[in-house]
Amino acid sequence: MIEITGRPPELLSAREKDLIHAASCEVLETIGVKVRDPKVIETFTKTGAAMAENGRLYLRTSVVEQALASAPETIRFDAPAPEHAFTLDASAEVARFGSGGQALYLLDRSAGSWERRAAGQEDLVRLLRLCERLPYLDFVTRPVECDVPKERMDEEKARAFAANTTKPMNLANLVDPSKLQRVIEIVGSESYLSFIVCLVSSPLTVDDSAVERLRAVTERGIPVSISSCAQGGTTAPLSEAGELVQLNAEVLFGIAFVQTLNPGAPVLYRGIPLTADLFGDCSPRWCRPDSIRRLTLATELCRHYRLPCCGTAGVSDEREPNAQAIAEKALSLTYVALAGAQYINSAFGMLERVMTVAPAQYLIDNVIIETLAETLKKRHDLTARQAAQQVARAALARFGVDLGPEAESELEAQVAFIEDGREEYSRGALDRELETIGSAVETDGGSRVFMKSSRKGLRAGLLYTGERIQGELDLTCIQDDLESL
């Protein structure tokens, strides 16, 4: 846990946040969310929502407002070791960090090089034990899934957590909601648990498989992060304003569902507005300056609602630990923390766009967060821009990377891209984005609409095109821990 003392980035003004909120409500009222699940339809039609013949449900703004009012501002996370328990307060200037994942691969250091292989249950146990040792890791989100048949996955994962962690447990996924009671029995108390559910897939479609999961945890009052992970340019508009409007509508829909089912149930806002790699294969860009900027904007929006904020930072796009990965992580962790996320997920170990975790990267990330804590402790009046640059420089220096003039100017360019807006936030501009979103959801294969409409924005420089930060890493500062891995 670290205290956040720097000045928040404030990339969005209060007026811009109000405009986005209003546009998101308009999306829910007029474009609607595609729903097939009868329980979601029943829950919302009781609130006066309209269900159209085209399968879209139109949610009233009053239901959203009511949900925002009834969602609690504080959430308690207990832990098997009481000293690790904490209360998350939506108005507190404190950031806590956790692991994250569902990575497919594990990257190990062997004879001076990196070796990548499929991850499984033994790796889950190993990573949970590693999480116990890291002082800046406050909660544990499952980093990899157990490689066991689906019907055993929930129980095996719970057993691994129960035996290997004393910190608050975010199991992330629940494969079979009927196993929840058994999972609680295995870990010892439901108060140790939390989950992540993406109820609405982008663009604006309820994922049927998520409904029962969300109902099960909501009815028990277990904290749940309502997630949406849109990709500007493929599943959402490339425009950051357009993407934020859509993503916010998707998260608000999930929060409204939770609060309608069980008013006052603990819920965290988790918006992950990424960009799609339109220069390459359309994979999500998790940590390029354009994505870091958008993750910061989503955090600001969450703080605007005074909701507990599950931020996402530190997921590098790099395939293995290197200087660029450290820079990406330092910038994203600093911006998301200073923007006000109190519960930062995926902050440890993540590489290759969530596909890979590396135990060594956990150690490196612990050093980066320590550097962030020390930087903010030294000076309380740093701007986000200053803090981000200082943390990146200091973290790189701890791994033996001294930035030369070229790398220094690249770092400055990345931070400038995060800070400087390129878009107009006006009612007219948002109306055009609503038109694109409406057109995409009405078309079979909405991604084509988003991709085609991205051509203009691409040429206007909405995706960062700078270089990577180079430099050989010296891992001496984590050598002892590395050897013990």
Partner 1 sequence: MSERDMLEEIRRSIIMGHLDAEDEGFDGSMEGTPGTVELVEEALEARTEPQQILTVFNAAMEEVGRLFEAGEYLLPDMLASAECVGEAMDVLEPHLAGTADTQKGTFLIATVKGDLHDIGKNIVITMLKGAGYQVRDLGIDVPADDIVAAVKQHKPQYLGLSALLTTTMTEMETVIRKLKEAGITDVKVIIGGAPTSEEFAQKIGADGHCRDALEAVEKLEALRSAS
279 binds partner 1 (CB under 8 A): yes
For residues 377 to 416, the per-residue mask of contacts with partner 1, x marking binding by CB under 8 A and - elsewhere, is ----------------------------------------
188, 3, 216, 172: which is closest to 79 by C-alpha? 188
Q: Which is nearer to partner 1, 346 or 389 (CB)?
A: 346
* 472 sits near partner 1 (criterion: CB under 8 A): no
Closest CB 424 distance from partner 1, rounded Å: 14
Sheet strands (E) in 60-185: 74-77, 86-89, 94-99, 105-110, 113-118, 140-141, 169-172
Which parts of 293-322 interact with partner 1 (CB under 8 A)? none
Tell me which amino acid residue 386 is: Q
Q: Is 342 helix (H, G, I), strand (E, B) or coil?
A: coil
Q: Which region among 125-133, 312-320, 333-341, 448-456 touches partner 1 (by CB under 8 A)?
A: 448-456
Residue 99 three-state SS: strand
Considering only 445, 472, 480, 483, the residue that binds partner 1 (CB under 8 A) is: 445
Q: Does 428 bind partner 1 (CB under 8 A)?
A: no
Q: And the tokens for 294? A: 């958008």
Q: Which is nearer to partner 1, 267 or 276 (CB)?
A: 276
Sign of CA dihedral 206, 208, 212, 214: negative
Neighbours of 278 (CB within 10 A): 20
**CB closer to partner 1 out of 233 and 266:** 233
Report the residue from 234, 299, 324, 342 that binds partner 1 according to the rule CB under 8 A. 234
| Interface with partner 1, residue 422, by CB under 8 A | no
**Which part of the chain contacts partner 1 (CB under 8 A), choosing from 5-13, 71-79, 227-235, 377-385?**
227-235
DSSP 139: B
Stretch that binds partner 1, among 18-26, 279-287, 332-340, 362-370 (CB under 8 A): 279-287
Residue 385: CB minimum distance to partner 1, A = 29
User: Is 280 one of the binding residues for partner 1 (CB under 8 A)?
Assistant: yes
Selected range binding partner 1 among 74-82, 186-194, 230-238, 472-480, rule: CB under 8 A: 230-238
Instruction: Compute the distance between CA of residue 384 and CA of residue 390 in angstroms, rounded to an integer.
Output: 10
DSSP string over 24-82: HHHIIIII-EE---HHHHHHHHTTT-EE-TTSEEE--HHHHHHHHHHS-SEEEE--SSG
Q: Where are the alpha helices (DSSP H) in 285-426?
A: 289-305, 323-339, 359-378, 384-398, 405-419
Q: Contacts with partner 1: how many residues (CB under 8 A)?
A: 36
Decide: is 276 part of the binding site for partner 1 (CB under 8 A). yes
Question: What CA–CA distance (Å, rounded) separates 365 from 33?
Answer: 38
Task: Write the secondary structure of 422-445 as one string of H (helix), E (strand) and C (coil).
Answer: CCCCCHHHHHHHHHHHHHHHHCCC
> Which is closer to partner 1, CB of 53 or CB of 444?
444
> ∠ CA 97-290-226 to the nearest 5 degrees?
45
Query: Which of 48, 182, 455, 474 is close enough to bind partner 1 by CB under 8 A?
Result: 455
- Structure token pair of residue 313: 């930072």
Binding to partner 1 (CB under 8 A): which residues in 126-185?
A: 145, 150, 173, 175
462: left (phi over 0), alpha (psi -120 to 50) or beta: alpha
Please report which helix (H) or strand (E) contains residue 164, including its range.
helix 150-164
The residue among 140, 64, 92, 143 whose CA lies nearest residue 309 is 92
Residue 299 or 346 with smaller CB distance to partner 1: 346
Instruction: Report which DSSP code applies to 312.
Output: E
Q: Is 261 in the site for partner 1 (CB under 8 A)?
A: no
| Helix (H) or strand (E) run with residue 246 in it | helix 240-261
Residue with tokens 């009868």: 38
User: Are 156 and 146 in contact, with CB atoms under 8 Å apart?
Assistant: yes
> Binding of partner 1 at residue 201 (CB under 8 A)?
yes
Tell me if 435 contacts partner 1 by CB under 8 A: no
Task: Single out the residue of 74, 178, 209, 479 in contact with partner 1 (rule: CB under 8 A).
Answer: 209
Instruction: Provide the 10 A C-beta neighbour count for residue 83.
Output: 8
Segment lying near partner 1 (by CB under 8 A), choices 203-211, 263-271, 400-408, 413-421: 203-211
Q: Is 60 exposed, middle or buried (0-12, 13-18, 19+ CB in 10 A)?
A: middle
* Distance in angstroms between the alpha carbons of the first and the last residue of the chain: 24
| Stretch of 271-279, 285-293, 298-306, 342-350 contacting partner 1, by CB under 8 A | 271-279
Q: In this chain, which stretch among 160-168, 281-289, 393-401, 412-420 interacts with partner 1, using CB under 8 A?
A: 281-289
Choosing from 222, 278, 384, 401, the residue that interacts with partner 1 (CB under 8 A) is 278
Stretch that binds partner 1, among 60-68, 106-114, 245-253, 455-463 (CB under 8 A): 455-463
Q: Does 38 bind partner 1 (CB under 8 A)?
A: no
The window from 19-27, 392-400, 404-412, 442-450 that contacts partner 1 (CB under 8 A) reads 442-450
Rule CB under 8 A: choose which of 22, 184, 355, 485 binds partner 1. Answer: 355
Question: What are the residues binding partner 1 (CB under 8 A)?
Answer: 102, 104, 145, 150, 173, 175, 201, 205, 207-209, 231, 233-235, 276, 278-283, 355, 444-448, 451-456, 458-459
